[in-house]
Amino acid sequence: MAETIPLDHRPRHFGGHRVYFLCPGDTHAGCGRRVTKLFLAHRYFLCRQCSGLVHASPYKYPWQRAARRAHKLRQRLAIGGIDAPLPEKPRGMQVHTYARLLDEVLQAEMRAGDAYTNWLQRLAARVESRDVNS
C-alpha cells in the first residue's frame, strides 16, 4: 500500500528554502500540520500530535531529569564526572558564559541530589508501611 505525503516548501530568510511534510492526519481528512518529522503509527506516517506520542521526560522521576541536565552541561564543558577536576575554560567561550554554565552544573547536581534523596525517603516509607501491614 502506497501513501502519498504532501510536501511544503518554505523560503528561508537568507535564501534557499526548507521542505516540510504536511501531516496526512487522522484518517485521511488530514490535520495539515507542517512538520519536519513523521512517525509510523498504525501503518500510517503521522505527526507527533496525530500519533499520540509524548516526550519521555514527563515519565521520568525529577531526580532523573535533573541528573540528565547536569550530565548534558558537564558534557558541554568537558567535565568527566562529579569528582573530576574542573577543566580550563574552553577556547572561544566567554568568561561569564563559562561561569554561568559552571553554576548551572552545580545547581542541577544539587537538585538531582535533593530529588533523589526525597525519592529514596518516600520509597523507604512505603517499604516500612508494607512491613507494618504484613
Quick: pLDDT tens for 73-95. Answer: 888 887 776 677 777 888 888 99
Set of cell numbers at residue 30: 488530514
Q: Find out whether 95 and 89 touch, Cβ atoms under 8 Å.
A: yes
> CA–CA distance from 47 to each of 33, 44, 53, 87 (Å)?
8, 10, 9, 42
Assess whether pLDDT exceeds 70 at residue 116: yes
Which of 6-20, 78-92, 97-111 tops mean pLDDT? 6-20
Q: Find out whether 103 and 95 touch, Cβ atoms under 8 Å.
A: no
Indicate the Cα dihedral angle 121, 123, 129, 131, nearest 10°.
-110
- What confidence category does residue 12 fall into, taking pLDDT thresholds of 50, 70 and 90? very high
- Please compute the mean of the pLDDT values over residues 108-125 and round it to a whole number: 88
- What confidence category does residue 20 fall into, taking pLDDT thresholds of 50, 70 and 90? very high
Question: What distance in Å separates the CA atoms of residue 78 and residue 72, rounded to the nearest whole number?
Answer: 10
What pLDDT score was predicted for residue 82? 66
Three-state DSSP class for residue 39: strand
Assess whether pLDDT exceeds 70 at residue 65: yes
Question: For the whole prediction, is pTM greater than 0.95?
Answer: no
The fraction of the chain above a pLDDT of 70, given in percent, is 93
